[in-house]
Amino acid sequence: MTIHPTTTVYVDADACPVRDEALKVAERHQTPVKIVSNGGIRPSRHPLVETVIVPEGADAADQWIADRIGPRDVCVTGDIPLAARCVEAGALVVKHNGDRLDQRNIGQALGMRDLMADLRAADPLAVHRGGKGFTKQDRSRFLDSLDRILRETARR
């Protein structure tokens, strides 16, 4: 397979449970990867990977990705506001559990995020804290979803 210079996978790497999986799929498709973080991760020596360490600060990695991502690119993130910015730029987004975010569902995802934030804020006893854990099935769905997305971008 040839390298697809018009597609880059951007990984919002802070607290990302699927960095290795993203690289595995991108390698299969010979697609460059940018691992973006505030630090605390070991740089990769893989020739397809560029490790980007941004200055510390709220949402610095998100800002770096949003400023550079474009159509045909793919963002791996669980951050819904970043996902919305990427979708707005024409990029494809895949969450850690394999869910794909695009023009059709990003509004709903933002609304659900805001609703859950309001519910957490209104719950002084912390009854609704914590979500479900990351599972092997989530990892498998992520691998399949990213593979499908990269096949789609190669056909365009």
What's the CA gap between 62 and 151, in Å, rounded?
25
Task: Identify the band that residue 3 occupies on the pLDDT scale cut at 50, 70 and 90.
Answer: very low
Number of other CB atoms surrounding residue 66 within 10 Å: 19
pTM value is 0.85
Task: Identify the band that residue 2 occupies on the pLDDT scale cut at 50, 70 and 90.
Answer: very low
Where exactly are the structural domains of the chain?
9-102+145-155
What pLDDT was estimated at residue 30?
A: 94
What's the CA gap between 123 and 118, in Å, rounded?
9
What pLDDT was estimated at residue 4?
A: 45
- Rounded to the nearest integer, the mean pLDDT of the chain is 86
Region 74-90: mean pLDDT is 94
Higher pLDDT among residues 111 and 78, named by residue? 78
- pLDDT of residue 127 exceeding 80: no
Element (H, E) at 90: none
Higher pLDDT among residues 42 and 28, named by residue? 28
| Angle at CA of residue 106, ends 102 and 107, nearest 5° | 145
Which of 7-11, 27-31, 128-132 is the least confident region? 128-132
